[in-house]
Chains A and B, each alone.
Chain A
Amino acid sequence: MTAPMVTSEQVHKSFGHLQVLNGIELEVATGEVFCLVGPSGSGKSTFLRCINHLERIDAGRLSVDGELIGYREHGGKLYELHEKDVARKRQEIGMVFQSFNLFPHMTALANIMEAPIRVKRESAAVVRERAERLLDRVGLSHKADVYPNRLSGGQQQRVAIARALAMEPKLMLFDEPTSALDPELVGEVLDVMRQLADDGMTMIVVTHEMGFAREVGDNLVFMDGGVIIESGHPRDVLANPQHERTRAFLSKVLM
């Protein structure tokens, strides 16, 4: 067994009086596709955003690849990290958003090249070659010089995936990557994600695409009210949910 990529122990998070995460306990193994499902407002996005410290946690421990996120432990105390160190850690974690969030003032290729050049300070020639390879991998070589507003939703999301991959992350976070897409465009994005899973990328995927979870997922967690209700292999959980709340949720999203 290799060391887990993500470890979450008793992670708590609240916004004001609203307790959003209420002791999340989970482990994501390296190379695994980890699916997170649950009703709206259950805290899925919040948990994902805690993993790359877009939100700070109130209590518990959250680590990626053996390093705490957002904090440094010293002499039994936790010290909040400097912005520079948070940013360095984020380079290892790719994130794909529901609303794509491509940079509208840059072409598809420039979107992909921006962070490796500006953040990792890699040479433009090396980055360009990698960016072109990634665009080819998501099937969009012919759109390199196009601005995002000229791309369909599915194409934008594929560029967004390529942009995250250009930083050569160890872990990819997907927050409902297909929820904003027209039904006929969902497939092309899932295909790219499936291919990525086949290549051995560790992925945490918040999704309502149960077909994808069943087929590609190694693990599935059902969350509600900021706690994990049940977890297991997607086939088992989806075919044979143990909890009433899981059953109620699945009966609404399945088929």
Chain B
Amino acid sequence: MKPIKAVPLRHPGRWLTVAVILVLAAMFANALVSNPLFQWDVVGQYFTSETILKGVGQTLYLTFVAMAVGIVLGVILAVMRLSPSPVLSTISWAYIWFFRGTPVLVQLIFWFNLAALFPELSIGVPFGPTFFSVETNAAITPFIAAILGLGLNEAAYMAEISRAGIQSVNDGQVEAAHALGMRRLLTMRRIILPQAMRVIIPPAGNETIGMLKTTSLVSIVTLPELLYSAQSIYSRTFETIPLLIVASLWYLIMTSVLTVGQYYIERHFGKGNARTMPPTAWQRLRRNFFTFHSPPPEAPAPSVTSSSGGIR
């Protein structure tokens, strides 16, 4: 038999769209470059200055620690929320209600000014003797205030995301684990959470990217993160726009890196679920962009069909 020689479907519309976009992009780039008010030389001068780089470091560090607090606490809150204990579940509900219901900026200012409410923090027997006490202003540094404000707030959002993830896992999984003699927490850790990750990670990635930008709020508690660092320079030199461009470029670079990272983490947790791994970003780009004639190749057909249908 002779194989069919098919002429692949052509997409002239794609070429046209690309041409139009390229022209528009060129006009925009020209406007940016030729307008001296943008002061690109100043942007270049500060882009890798020490103050800015330190700010970038602080922003990354804050994002990392606040997200770590948010994720760990969020998962704990979600497990509490779904626990059969009405006490734990109500505590979790109240936490989420409060921290989601008040602006994070207010929470930040509150933690920063905690000393005004409680000049001293102490550990001891309730209503009894004190073992240890410290001045609030010494304990709640701007960094601690920032982590408390951002992390505790984030936990409320991560709790809801984790809860959705946990609930997405088939009940049969819990039953199978319990039937094997696994207890509730072990089942959660070994069986439910790893499967819930597939649902949790995409929104958690968005949260991380959101957090990276939300850290800029911390500039108001005088923590030298990226935006504060840029401000500290332009308040001296009055080169406001170029320095905001510097900060924005760095935010863009960081969020782009995070997006790529998120993609690979998703691929990792998709293990055992997708029949074939989704393509990497680069494979997809190549497929969508450089194959203008042929439709994207289909994933190879599975050799065995399971009657349970799998997750997809």
Residues of A within 8 A of B (CB): 52, 54, 83-84, 87-88, 90-91, 93-95, 97, 99-107, 114-115, 118-120, 147-153, 156, 160, 163-164, 167, 180-182, 185
> How far does the Cβ of B176 sit from chain A's closest Cβ, in whole Å?
4
B180 touches which one: A105, A115, A147, A156 (CB < 8 A)?
A: A115
Give the interface SS of chain B, mostly helix, strand, loop or mixed: loop
> How far does the Cβ of A176 sit from chain B's closest Cβ, in whole Å?
13
Interface centre among A100, A101, A153, A163 (most CB of B within 10 A): A101
Asked whether, in the complex, the Cβ of B308 is within 8 Å of the Cβ of A153, the reply is yes
Interface centre among A100, A107, A149 (most CB of B within 10 A): A149
A54 touches which one: B175, B181, B271, B302 (CB < 8 A)?
A: B175
Q: List, in ascending order, chain B residues with CB within 8 A of A100's CB.
A: 308
Known: A99-B172, A101-B175, A149-B272. A119 touches B181 (CB 8 A): yes
> How far does the Cβ of B282 sit from chain A's closest Cβ, in whole Å?
25
Q: List, in ascending order, chain B residues with CB within 8 A of A106's CB.
A: 272
> How far does the Cβ of B56 sit from chain A's closest Cβ, in whole Å?
36
A149 touches which one: B180, B194, B310 (CB < 8 A)?
A: B310
Classify chain B: how many residues form its interface, as a range. 20 to 34
Asked whether, in the complex, the Cβ of A90 is within 8 Å of the Cβ of B180, the reply is yes
Residues of B within 8 A of A (CB): 170, 172-173, 175-184, 186, 190-191, 194-195, 271-273, 275, 302, 304-308, 310-311
Known: A90-B179, A149-B310, A182-B307. A103 touches B173 (CB 8 A): yes
Asked whether, in the complex, the Cβ of A104 is within 8 Å of the Cβ of B272, the reply is yes
Nearest B residue to A163, CB-CB: B180
Bound-state CA distance A219–B304 (Å) is 37
Known: A115-B182, A180-B307, A181-B307. A149 touches B173 (CB 8 A): no
A90 touches which one: B178, B271, B310 (CB < 8 A)?
A: B178
Bound-state CA distance A241–B211 (Å) is 70
Bound-state CA distance A80–B274 (Å) is 42
A151 touches which one: B183, B186, B271, B306 (CB < 8 A)?
A: B306
Q: Beyond the given A54-B179, A120-B181, A150-B302, could you list 19 further A-B residue pairs with CB under 8 A, ordered by the A residue number? A: A54-B175, A54-B178, A84-B183, A91-B180, A91-B181, A94-B179, A95-B175, A95-B179, A100-B308, A101-B173, A101-B175, A102-B176, A118-B190, A148-B272, A149-B272, A150-B304, A152-B307, A156-B306, A160-B176
Asked whether, in the complex, the Cβ of B183 is within 8 Å of the Cβ of A87, the reply is yes
Bound-state CA distance A84–B181 (Å) is 9
B308 touches which one: A52, A99, A120, A167 (CB < 8 A)?
A: A99
Could you write out 9 A-B pairs with CB less than 8 Å apart? A52-B179, A84-B183, A97-B176, A118-B186, A148-B272, A150-B275, A160-B176, A181-B307, A185-B307
> How far does the Cβ of B279 sit from chain A's closest Cβ, in whole Å?
19
Q: List, in ascending order, chain A residues with CB within 8 A of B180's CB.
A: 90-91, 114-115, 119, 163-164, 167
